[in-house]
Amino acid sequence: MKFQTYLIKYGEIGIKGKNRYMFEDALVRQIKHSLKDLDGLFHTYKAQGRVYVDCDGDYDGDEVVEALKRVFGIVGICPVVRVEDKGFEELKKDVIAYMDEVYPDKNITFKVESRRAKKTYPKKSMEINYDLGEAILYAFPEIRVDVHHPDVLLHVEVREEIYIYSEIIPGPGGMPIGTNGTAMLLLSGGIDSPVAGYMISKRGVGLEATYFHAPPYTSERAKQKVVDLAKQVSKYTGPIKLHVVNFTDIQLYIYELTIIMRRYMMRIAEHFAKEDGCLGLITGESIGQVASQTMQSLMATNDVCTLPVYRPLIGFDKQEIVEVSEKIGTYETSILPYEDCCTIFVAKHPVTKPNVNVIKKSEEKLADVIDDLMDQAISTVETIHVEA
Ligand code: ATP
Ligand code: MG
């Protein structure tokens, strides 16, 4: 069955009053963006407190649903069949045809729920419910009505045309991008940081990203892997401005002092974040996962940041992170074996309880040289605009 419209369900909580328009407008904008490269003609609009996507031309309904499943803010996608209003007898036939095609197995219960948006329609909604219910029962002897817990809730919405739908395909939830500013993701080639970016972005936050590489110790392929990860994440978040920072000289100079290295990463990422008006930093850290992510280490890393640092995976176990990464399609890329800069310069005996004062003293000694190296790393940044 060809569905001509998709009714978009979105969460109502937190979008009451003035925010509602902002939320809906952002949702419409993001939906349009997600469909812009698909074949077909799409008209996305809001009407009577709902958002609809009308489809025309030569479109692939499955592709449309796949795209909509990646738009944050969408809780459910209802594929709708639109029929012309040619009188109630015709509507009965249309509804029967719909049930027949969408539910080949008739051993189900149902209930009709109509809504009369067009007030001049000759039947009231109660009457529509009853009469269509009766017609369906008559057409399919096996089918039964259950008004309390039906297997199928058949919606019939009378507008200029009549909209028939019953399925709800789950969307990703969250808030539309553009309703909550932008943040800077520290994106490595690992499993965690793409998931972290996804999770913050899901709350309506646009993303930029910073990647530190160390050529020739890290390869061009390792960099391409990060670009590919950013591309995958951008299917959900929209375009990502990716800052690729050459970290080689800083890393060679610091060598195995992992926490100091992490502090410089944060400083540099924050520099680009502030330059572009980002409102926070995002990392894929999780308490205790490695030595640089103990509570003491996180405190030492955090110490150099003035922007808030969002760590959405902080309480996640690795397996839970892997599950999200599989769901969003980054896992396969993340596990490709190309070395990243942290694994090459990894300390053999990492400190798990760094002392911030000791670290500050060490940094003072390094400062003369590193400050220049940092300026150089910042001024030689390569900026890549990544878009799915
Ligand atoms: P990931 O799987 O995200 O690489 P990880 O488990 O390897 O994380 P670390 O290497 O300690 O953990 O990195 C912690 C966080 O620091 C990462 O989640 C990421 O946000 C950031 N990070 C680490 N390495 C880099 C890098 N080369 N470029 C940018 N950010 C990085
Ligand atoms: Mg890593």
Q: What is the pLDDT of residues 168-189, one digit of tens each?
A: 999 999 999 999 999 999 999 9
How far, in Å, from the CA of 309 to the mean position of ligand 2? 17
Binned at pLDDT 50, 70 and 90, residue 13 comes out as low
| Residue located nearest, by CA, to atom 24 of ligand 1 | 188
363 CB-near residues (< 8 Å, 6+ apart) = 260, 263, 370
What is the percentage of the chain residues whose pLDDT exceeds 90?
A: 82
Taken in order 171, 176, 177, 180, the sign of the CA dihedral is negative
- Residue closest via CA to ligand 1's atom 30 equals 186
Mean pLDDT of 217-242: 96
H helix count then E strand count, the chain:
13, 15
Q: How many angstroms is it from 264 CA to the middle of ligand 2?
A: 15
Question: What is the Cα–Cα distance from 59 to 326, expressed in whole angstroms?
Answer: 28
**Contact status, residue 110 vs residue 151, Cβ threshold 8 Å:** yes
Distance 342 CA to ligand 2 centre (A): 6
Q: Which residue has the tokens 């077909």?
A: 40
**What letter represents residue 50's amino acid?**
R
Distance separating alpha carbons of residues 10 and 20, to the nearest angstrom: 11
Query: Two tokens at 251?
Result: 């890393």
**How many whole angstroms from its chain centre is CA 275?**
25
Q: Strand runs (DSSP E) across 99-167, as ranges?
A: 109-116, 144-145, 152-158, 162-165
**At residue 314, does pLDDT exceed 70?**
yes
| Ligand 1 centroid to residue 359 C-alpha, Å | 20
| 216: preceding bond cis by omega (within 30 degrees) | yes
Contact call for residues 230 and 240 (beta carbons, < 8 A): yes
The pLDDT of residue 258 is 85
So what's the pLDDT on residue 18? 77
Residue nearest to atom 10 of ligand 1 (CA): 342
Specify whether the CB–CB gap between 155 and 111 falls below 8 A. no
Q: Whose CA is nearest to atom 31 of ligand 1?
A: 188
149-158, 318-327, 339-348: range with lowest mean pLDDT: 339-348
Pairing assessment for the beta strands 5-10 and 74-83 based on DSSP bridges: antiparallel
Ligand 1 contacts (CB < 6 A) are: 186-188, 190-193, 210-212, 265, 283-285, 289-290, 292-293, 340-342
| Residue among 189, 121, 205, 133 nearest 161 (CA) | 121
Most ligand 1 atoms within 8 A of CB, residue of 185, 187, 193 to mutate: 193
Centre of ligand 1 to C-alpha 172, Å, is 25
Instruction: Give residue for tokens 């095609």.
Output: 101
Tell me the per-residue pLDDT of 18-38, one tens digit each, with 9 for 90 and over: 788 889 999 999 999 999 999
User: How does residue 17 score in pLDDT terms, banded at 50, 70 and 90?
Assistant: confident
How far apart CA 201 and CA 207 sit, in angstroms, is: 7
Rounded CA gap, 89 and 138, in Å?
Answer: 14
Mean pLDDT, all residues of the chain: 93
Task: Inform me whether the pLDDT recorded for 49 exceeds 90.
Answer: no
Between the CA of 192 and the centroid of ligand 2 the distance, in Å, is: 7
Cβ atoms 176, 71 nearer than 8 A:
yes
* 70-127 per-position pLDDT tens digit: 999 999 999 999 999 999 999 999 999 999 999 999 999 999 999 998 999 999 999 9
Instruction: Kindly report the backbone phi and psi dihedral angles of residue 44, in degrees, each rounded to the nearest multiple of 5, phi listed first.
Output: -105, 130
**What is the average per-residue pLDDT within 257-280?**
95
CA dist., res. 291 & res. 280, Å (int): 24
Whole-number pLDDT of residue 342: 60
pLDDT confidence bin for 205, thresholds 50/70/90: very high
Query: In this structure, which residue's CA is closest to atom 20 in ligand 1?
Result: 283
Q: Atom 7 of ligand 1 has which residue's CA nearest to it?
A: 190
Average pLDDT on 290-296 reads: 88
Instruction: Place 345 in a pLDDT band, splitting at 50, 70 and 90.
Output: low
Sign of CA dihedral 310, 312, 317, 323: negative
pLDDT of residue 254: 87
The residue whose C-alpha atom lies closest to atom 4 belonging to ligand 1 is 190
Band of residue 353 on the pLDDT scale cut at 50, 70, 90: confident
Closest ligand 1 atom to the C-alpha of 213? Answer: 27
Beta carbons within 10 angstroms of residue 322's beta carbon = 17
Ligand nearest to the CA of 183: 1
Give pLDDT, residue 348: 67
pLDDT higher than threshold 60 for residue 15: yes
The C-alpha angle with vertex 65 and arms to 62 and 67, in degrees rounded to 5, equals 110
Q: Which of 196, 178, 170, 185 is nearest to 330 (CA)?
A: 196
SS3 91: helix
How far, in Å, CA of 154 to CA of 156, rounded?
A: 7
Cα(343) to centroid(ligand 1), Å: 10
Give ion ligand 2 contacts, CB < 5 A. 188, 190
User: What percentage of the chain exceeds 70 in pLDDT?
Assistant: 96
- What span, in angstroms and rounded, lies between the C-alpha atoms of 288 and 207? 26
Q: Which atom of ligand 1 is nearest to the CA of 334?
A: 2
